[in-house]
Structure 1
Amino acid sequence: MLFLEITLLALYGLCLAFVLGFSLTQFQLTRLARQAYRRGLPPEPAPPAFWPRVTVQLPLYNEVFVAERLIDACAALNYPLNLLHVQVLDDSTDETVALVAARVAHYRALGVHIDQVRRPDRQGYKAGALRYGLEHTDGELIAIFDADFVPEPDFLLRTVPYFQDAGLGVVQTRWGHLNEEYSLLTELQAFGLNAHFHVEQVGRTAGGHFINFNGTGGVWRRTCIEDAGGWHTDTLTEDLDLSYRAQLRGWRFHYLPHVVAPAELPATLDALKSQQFRWTKGAAETARKHLRTVLRSSESLATKLHATFHLLNSTVFVAILLMALVSVPLVFVRADLPELKPVLRVASVFLLAFVPLIYYYFTAWRLDKPTAPVWRFVPQFLLFLSVSMGLTLHNARAVLLGYSGRQSAFIRTPKLGLVRRQGRWQGRRYRTGDLLDGLTLTEGLLALYFAFGIGAGLYFGDWGLIPFHLMLTVGYGLIFMYSVRHRK
């Protein structure tokens, strides 16, 4: 019995160490980002003497609610018409095909070079579509926008001049949010994404570390794509995969936090879960594919360390899930074995691993909302942390599938054309699965399990893990509640 209890404690400690390591790398990136903001953004480059040919690729699959909005925005891009080519990579199987055809015909009549590109099949999903599109265009630069994006007219004028640097392979811009205030779910998503775009990408750029193209809202140099081996279809995060292959080939990436590409956030839990599954499983697949190469590369030790936690960031969900499951029995271990109390105190310092994350997320929150009262950060951060914990079962499963090498279909995130608080998610036609499946029922049971952990802590007078169990109960409870609410 003692062996089992020590094993549980050791497992908890190992997971805690991993979470702390991840938190400390985010802390360092935050310091680098703050230094970069204090120095101020460098001036934008002067317009080039000769503007290059640009192809704007729009990968679509059954996007009846947003396809026209996207095409309208890209047709309005301010760029020399004779140098701009818009490719609508349309893999749709519903009436989106007809909507796209009508908009393409409309803009062609106005003199825009725009094509609706239809493939024989959907092999390779988004990566396959991007690769197929490259074979049918001569663009020197390739801008990519997913269906939920609405780029500003000056997007190309603000990004293309950076490619006068011959060694630059990618310019990535910051995502904005069209419907952040739509619901609590969208507000919390924006909270998390803002940390990545306001802080993490800035810190990686400032430190000379690997960053990633975020799949959309950015521009590639065509020769960079080709030199790195083109778009591969063996991971669900083709963007992260190609980013690492390109940077390992010596191409540099540049991030522009001051250029914003507005996009729509998933408003329903099934849409959010499909996105999270793709991101977390794809990150694990990319780590499996590239981590060894990164560690063997000639990059600096600091860059290798940051790249390791970058590639393993989705593994944090596995670590937190294991810690959570083990933490309830630890309440009883602490009560039954008082002689181990000095050692078992390590279980109560869980929240200390998240202190660096407070610094990370607060910095991003303040950059995004410079005039908001500070007290508003606390409930939003705690809710974000709780909901993130509530997704650990779903995301940990995706990560383990990624490391196992099992292939999965690319399930795109449904978009509904929502802006601010306008529009309804009810009655939507695009769904990604049954929200009341066995996994969701398990999430509901886990909410009860961690509530039991709170009760056990109160019974034994052990307050060390109660904050952790409270966040887990709230997080899993909210995920289960949204599953019931969004099942229609």
Structure 2
Amino acid sequence: MTTVEIIFLGVYFSVLCVLAVYGSHRYRMAYLYYRHKFRLPTPKGVLPAMPRVTIQLPIFNEMYVVERLVESVCRIDYPRELLEIQVLDDSTDETCGIARACVERHRQKGHDIVYIHRENRSGFKAGALENGLKTATGEYIAVFDADFVPSPDFLLRTVPFFADSKVGMVQVRWGHLNREFSILTQAQSIFLDGHFIIEHTARNRAGCFFNFNGTAGIWRRITISDAGGWQHDTLTEDLDLSYRAQVKGWQFIFLPEVISPAELPVDMNAFKSQQHRWAKGSIQTARKLLPMILKSDLPFAVKREAFFHLTNNMAYLLMVLLSALMPLSMVVRFQHGLYGTLFLDLPFFISATASVCVFYVAAQREQGAKGWDRFKYLPFLMSLGIGMAISNAKAVIEALLGQQSAFARTPKTGAEGKKITTIKKSYRGSKTLLPLIELGFATYFLGALWFAIDNSIWGSVPFIFLFLAGFAYVGLSSLLEGRLKVSESAPAPMQVSEEQTRRAA
């Protein structure tokens, strides 16, 4: 074996090793979850009086869901004289007229609701929230994105936790209005269930930092200002503010039993856009805050969890590198008669892939799934995660290089259940050239699959097939997106009943 081939295999195994470490971290999350599962958060004390609350609704070109959002927020059970609602609209399309009319309609019904429109999107969502705080009258600030449908008891179940003067933010769990829409939305719901049910609960109850998710949460107003306010030098202003606040000593509470349903992206390009923003923003936040966190006097366990939390998306960059190296590694070792060494890969792949199974099966079990329903989407989940690696790796590289980009909103369609909604072309996820690269990787793995079968390297076939299926599905779905009809007309107002909200939760 040549020196080049030895170095090549060394790099390959190094990548596998690091990915196995990140994959094994899921085992720790599951362990912490079950260790602290029954440490249920309870309010410490009683507030002397019900406080004034401002609910901020930041929107940008949300013509299909803005009425649904406002109507659901106006159904929240809280004294009207203590509740202010701000519709923070940066829209440039028909949303402006729809939102203004909706706000006026509810103001005439007696709600303290205001419409605030900005001519420019300075700071994007963070800028809109910051601008709204200038006139907000609430002692506490709740935030809901346009695709959410909060339950009427949201404030009654979250505000009591602020009786503890150390609590700065309370986050609730996301539900899914259109989980059943497609296999893609099923997968997204499982990903999010894992994040909220397992990760958030584990981090919060183990005394580590976790983050406000940008929506479906409520802040003590002085916590926001004490932590430095909303800043827009990252694409994840929520993650950024969360860590700054917790470093300052503020405590966060996560309530998994309180659920706010939301709409999942229904097309691949919209999903990729959302994941790109989250991946890039998390690495931007890591670059901004991680050095300060690691140098601080925080406990080692908190620092360790912050490191894995903020750098987790680096795994996508390594996944792309692994995708390029894995077939070549198989060929090199086979040609040198080192077929037996292929089994050295197995512990690393088990550390990475089996952890995915354990993590998401646990999440679905806690979510209420039974029997086969806990397992049936696992192969697709693993393939989808692999297929998304190229898009998310691009986001990581942009963040590492300090490349700034605009806040790209995730298009909302008002989809519920399996209902297909007619939408405007401008509300569809944007297409890029990345699908061609993804299909190139799929072709590459098709060749690797043929080589493995032709030479009876059966141990590699399942893993190669996962990579092939993932890249092919993501690439083809991105190129052939067209399930939603295109229309240039405005939609009728959409409403979600309380019964629909309950089913989604």
Fold agreement, TM-score > 0.5 = yes
After superposition, what is the alpha-carbon deviation per residue over 1:301-357, rounded to whole angstroms, capped at 9, x for unaligned?
Answer: 12211110100111111111111110010011111223x666654334442122233
1:179–1:265 contact (8 Å) kept in structure 2: yes
Separation of aligned partners in 2, 1:130 and 1:2: 59
In percent, how many aligned pairs have the same letter? Answer: 41
More deviation, 44-53/351-360? 44-53
Separation of aligned partners in 2, 1:398 and 1:42: 36
Separation of aligned partners in 1, 2:305 and 2:13: 22
1:78–1:156 contact (8 Å) kept in structure 2: yes
1:350–1:468 contact (8 Å) kept in structure 2: no
Q: Report the count of equivalent residues.
A: 482
User: 1:477 is matched with which residue?
Assistant: 472
Separation of aligned partners in 2, 1:249 and 1:15: 36
- Residue 483 of structure 1 deviates from its aligned partner by 1.7
User: 1:359 is matched with which residue?
Assistant: 358
Matches within 5 A, 1:164-203: 164-203=163-202
User: 2:390 is matched with which residue?
Assistant: 393
User: 2:460 is matched with which residue?
Assistant: 465
Separation of aligned partners in 1, 2:341 and 2:2: 14
Distance 1:29 1:356, change over 3 A: same
What is the letter of the counterpart of residue 381 of structure 2? F
More deviation, 459-468/182-191? 459-468
Tell me the secondary structure at the aligned position of residue 377 of structure 2. Answer: helix
Match of 1:453 among 439, 442, 448: 448
**Structure 1 portions without partners, runs of 5+:** none
- Residue 56 of structure 1 deviates from its aligned partner by 0.4
What is the letter of the counterpart of residue 357 of structure 1? V
User: 1:337 is matched with which residue?
Assistant: 336
**Structure 2 portions without partners, runs of 5+:** 487-505
- Residue 205 of structure 1 deviates from its aligned partner by 1.0
After superposition, what is the alpha-carbon deviation per residue over 1:106-127, rounded to whole angstroms, capped at 9, x for unaligned?
Answer: 1111111111111231111001
Matches within 5 A, 1:21-420: 21-37=21-37, 39=38, 41-43=40-42, 48-338=47-337, 345-353=343-351, 354-370=353-369, 372-373=370-371, 375-420=372-417
- Residue 427 of structure 1 deviates from its aligned partner by 5.1
- Residue 388 of structure 1 deviates from its aligned partner by 0.9
Separation of aligned partners in 2, 1:175 and 1:29: 19
Tell me the secondary structure at the aligned position of residue 478 of structure 2. Answer: helix
- Residue 2 of structure 1 deviates from its aligned partner by 2.1
- Residue 385 of structure 1 deviates from its aligned partner by 0.8
Tell me the secondary structure at the aligned position of residue 118 of structure 2. Answer: coil
After superposition, what is the alpha-carbon deviation per residue over 1:48-104, rounded to whole angstroms, capped at 9, x for unaligned?
Answer: 331111110100000000000000011111111111110000001111111111111
Distance 1:17 1:414, change over 3 A: same
After superposition, what is the alpha-carbon deviation per residue over 1:256-287, rounded to whole angstroms, capped at 9, x for unaligned?
Answer: 00000110000011110110110011111111
Separation of aligned partners in 2, 1:349 and 1:459: 25
What is the letter of the counterpart of residue 460 of structure 2? L
What is the letter of the counterpart of residue 301 of structure 1? F
Tell me the secondary structure at the aligned position of residue 186 of structure 2. Answer: helix
Tell me the secondary structure at the aligned position of residue 406 of structure 2. Answer: coil
- Residue 43 of structure 1 deviates from its aligned partner by 4.3
Distance 1:350 1:467, change over 3 A: farther
Separation of aligned partners in 1, 2:110 and 2:6: 72
- Residue 432 of structure 1 deviates from its aligned partner by 3.7
Separation of aligned partners in 1, 2:434 and 2:446: 19
Tell me the secondary structure at the aligned position of residue 413 of structure 2. Answer: coil
User: 1:433 is matched with which residue?
Assistant: 430
More deviation, 123-132/1-10? 1-10
Separation of aligned partners in 1, 2:67 and 2:328: 54
Separation of aligned partners in 2, 1:42 and 1:136: 32
User: 1:424 is matched with which residue?
Assistant: 421
Tell me the secondary structure at the aligned position of residue 175 of structure 1. Answer: strand
Q: TM-score, normalised by structure 1?
A: 0.95
2:46–2:163 contact (8 Å) kept in structure 1: no
What is the letter of the counterpart of residue 331 of structure 1? M
Tell me the secondary structure at the aligned position of residue 215 of structure 1. Answer: coil
After superposition, what is the alpha-carbon deviation per residue over 1:215-257, rounded to whole angstroms, capped at 9, x for unaligned?
Answer: 1010111111101111111110101111111111111111000
What is the letter of the counterpart of residue 443 of structure 2? L
1:348–1:465 contact (8 Å) kept in structure 2: no
1:171–1:256 contact (8 Å) kept in structure 2: yes
After superposition, what is the alpha-carbon deviation per residue over 1:162-187, rounded to whole angstroms, capped at 9, x for unaligned?
Answer: 01111111101000000000011100
